Amino acid sequence: MSNRTLRVNELIQRELSDILRKRYQAEAVAITISAVDIAPDLRDGRVHVAVFGDADFAQQKLRWLRAIARELTQELGRRIVLKYMPKLTYTLDTSTARGNRVLGILDEIDAKQGPLPPSDDDAAPSP
């Protein structure tokens, strides 16, 4: 990925977050733009959205985002000067839910095994 593509990704992520925070404050309170992936030709892009809440609420917020996508793209066009404004598609980012599930499983395993005995590396050297 080129340096320019990385900069455009970060810029679009920052500006989308700012638009949602300022113009759609009440509706977007549970929404986080977790990542933006723009194609190398800067024509298409995918916006990964994390939503705080259950699966039904997340789908509802994703539908709402897709409904206002045109307005968001127009506002981005006013804020960012690019030769071509990428066509953005919005997808649900479930990486935080997966991470929480893995941490929960690890906690269950730890609870079943009990505390680990100290190893030889943990012992302090005696003087």
**Per-residue pLDDT band at 78 (split at 50, 70, 90):** very high
Question: Collapsing DSSP states into helix, strand and coil, what is residue 26?
Answer: coil
For 108, residues 6+ apart whose C-beta sits below 8 A from its C-beta are: none
Q: Specify the pLDDT at position 121.
A: 61
**Torsion angle in degrees (nearest 10) through CA of 29, 65, 73, 98:** 80
Q: Specify the pLDDT at position 2.
A: 84
Q: Is the pLDDT of residue 16 over 80?
A: yes
Q: Is the pLDDT of residue 110 over 80?
A: yes
Question: Domains of the chain by range and CATH?
Answer: 3-96 (3.30.300.20)
Q: Is the dihedral of CA 23, 27, 32, 33 positive or negative?
A: negative
